[in-house]
Amino acid sequence: MADTPENLHRRNTLLQAVRLSVAGTFAASGAAALASPAAPDEAAAATAEKAIDTLEGTYGTHKGQRRNHTKGIGAMGTFVGNPAAAAPYSRSLLFSGAPIDVVARFSIAGGNPKVEDKEKSTRGLGLEFRLPDGGMHHITMLNTPMFFARMPATFIAKFAAVKPDPATGKPMPEKVKAFNATHPDAASQTMFLTEHNPPPSYANSAFYGIHTFKFVNKANHVTLVRWRFVPRDGEKSLSDAEMASAPDDFLYAALTERLKHGPVKWDMLVAIGEPGDSETDPTVLWPKERKEINVGTLTLTSAAPPETAASNRINFDPLVMADGILPTEDPILLFRSPSYAYSYARRQSEG
Ligand code: HEM
């Protein structure tokens, strides 16, 4: 198969079909392995399909749209790796130094396609790297250094807790309170979001890989790593006053306006793990003192509204990985792939 963008997309779609076919098996056999000692009933019910049903139950079904991170915008650009820094750790083509085409999508967490751009919640960045050998690599990140769930059951419980009262359409704070009281793994991200207002522009947001991944070098040596993308424009947050007066939609205009003055860049900084650093818990941070290397720069040159963005029909499944980077056994990372496949299959089948 020639490596045209259409064929890459077809390959991606086929990959999703395979992932979906294993999703049922994963859901059945994975439930026991993913059981949380804190909440065995919840854990037993934590399947990828249930995660998507729960998102739909809370936000409704928006035809043809993502069940999570529904509101978003597209962008295009390139990534240029820094082989001198990266090669001792990873043989991935990402870091060869040749420019790699990137399709990007910025988003706001949750399944509300009309969520206000100032909402105090997580922002996301999905990246599809189209490698020169026809392969693909996905990196899908959030603007918080940690996640709110150590186990999939917590994800499902949270989205069930934020479901508005069906009678009034209003939030039910007592349910959120009960969720927080019974899911201590969510505390760290909740605190981070309380203390940090959202960015005025995606160009002023850092994005974190959150999970631990494995870098594999030419000698097959494996290094545990975590990465973040740091904006060259600097990190900024809206002030409380700006949040109060901000319009519902400003993130697309802010990015297109910024791009008129030139490309927007992020450096990919990779922390090198040390013995004892968490490998499978995305709610726990590594110590700040970890050695960090700059393995490359992402440069975005154009933005597109959701209707026309090339990212629209991409499933930014984080387990789409090319040689040189491997997943860990993080149960959240492994649960994401079948969940995204269900969301992708449902939205794709709706046209
Ligand atoms: C139990 C854990 C999680 C579940 C069940 C989940 C579920 C989902 C689903 C269903 C989608 C929409 C997929 C689609 O239709 O294409 C999505 C999108 C997304 N998720 Fe997650 N997610 C989880 C954890 C995470 C984590 C840990 C991160 C970041 C490290 C993350 C970042 C994102 C981003 C950035 C998007 C939007 C991608 C795009 O623009 O298409 N998610 N998630």
- Neighbour tally for 287: CB within 10 Å: 9
CA end-to-end span of the chain: 26
Strands (E) across 109-206 are located at 123-130, 136-142
Report the Cα 256 to chain-centroid distance in Å. 22
CA 60, 62, 66, 69 torsion: positive or negative? negative
- Neighbour tally for 135: CB within 10 Å: 18
Ordered DSSP codes for 273-297: P-TTS-SS-TTSPPPTTS-EEEEEE
d(CA 243, CA 66): 26
d(CA 240, CA 244): 6
CA proximity to 105, closest of 302, 327, 248: 302
Ligand 1: residue whose CA is nearest its atom 4: 336
CA angle 187–193–195, rounded 5-degree value:
100
Report the Cα 206 to chain-centroid distance in Å. 12
> Would residue 137 show up in a list of annotated catalytic residues for this protein?
no
Each residue's pLDDT tens digit in the chain (351 positions)? 444 444 444 444 444 544 444 343 333 333 333 334 455 667 777 999 999 999 999 999 999 999 999 999 999 999 999 999 999 999 999 999 999 999 999 999 999 999 999 999 999 999 999 999 999 999 999 999 999 999 999 999 999 999 999 999 999 999 999 999 999 999 999 999 999 999 999 999 999 999 999 999 999 999 999 999 999 999 999 999 999 999 999 999 999 999 999 999 999 999 999 999 999 999 999 999 999 999 999 999 999 998 888 999 999 999 999 999 999 999 999 999 999 999 999 999 996
d(CA 245, CA 108): 19
* C-alpha to C-alpha distances, 151 to 44, 52, 98, 154, nearest whole angstrom: 11, 16, 38, 6
What is the longest distance spanned by two Cα atoms in the chain?
61
Tokens found for residue 5? 């963008």
d(CA 33, CA 319): 19
The interface pTM score, or ipTM, of the predicted complex is 0.99
pTM of the entire structure? 0.91
Dihedral class, residue 72 (left if φ above 0, else alpha if ψ from -120 to 50, else beta): beta
The contacts of residue 162 (CB under 8 Å, 6+ apart) are 58, 110, 171, 175, 176
Report whether 264 contacts 300 (CB < 8 A). Answer: yes
Calculate how far, in angstroms, residue 123's C-alpha sits from the geometric centre of ligand 1. 11
Q: Which residues line ligand 1 (CB under 6 A)?
A: 51-52, 66-69, 72, 105, 107, 124-126, 140-142, 147, 149, 152, 155, 210, 282, 315-316, 332, 335-336, 339-340, 343-344, 347
CA proximity to 75, closest of 316, 350, 338: 316
Residue 67 DSSP symbol: S
Q: Which residues pair with 126 in a beta bridge?
A: 105, 140
Report the Cα 349 to chain-centroid distance in Å. 23
CA 148, 154, 157, 159 torsion: positive or negative? positive
Ligand 1: residue whose CA is nearest its atom 10: 340
Report whether 44 contacts 35 (CB < 8 A). Answer: yes
**What per-residue confidence (pLDDT) applies to 19?**
46
CA 189, 186, 249, 247 torsion: positive or negative? negative
Calculate how far, in angstroms, residue 315's C-alpha sits from the geometric centre of ligand 1. 9
**What per-residue confidence (pLDDT) applies to 142?**
99
Report whether 303 contacts 73 (CB < 8 A). Answer: yes
Ligand 1: residue whose CA is nearest its atom 27: 147
Report whether 242 contacts 120 (CB < 8 A). Answer: no
Rg (CA), the chain: 19
**What per-residue confidence (pLDDT) applies to 40?**
60
Catalytic residue among 69, 137, 138, 211: 69
Mutate to test the pocket of ligand 1, among 59, 340, 342, 344 (most ligand atoms within 8 A of CB): 340
**What per-residue confidence (pLDDT) applies to 36?**
42
**What per-residue confidence (pLDDT) applies to 44?**
72
d(CA 95, CA 139): 14
Q: Which residues pair with 71 in a beta bridge?
A: 108
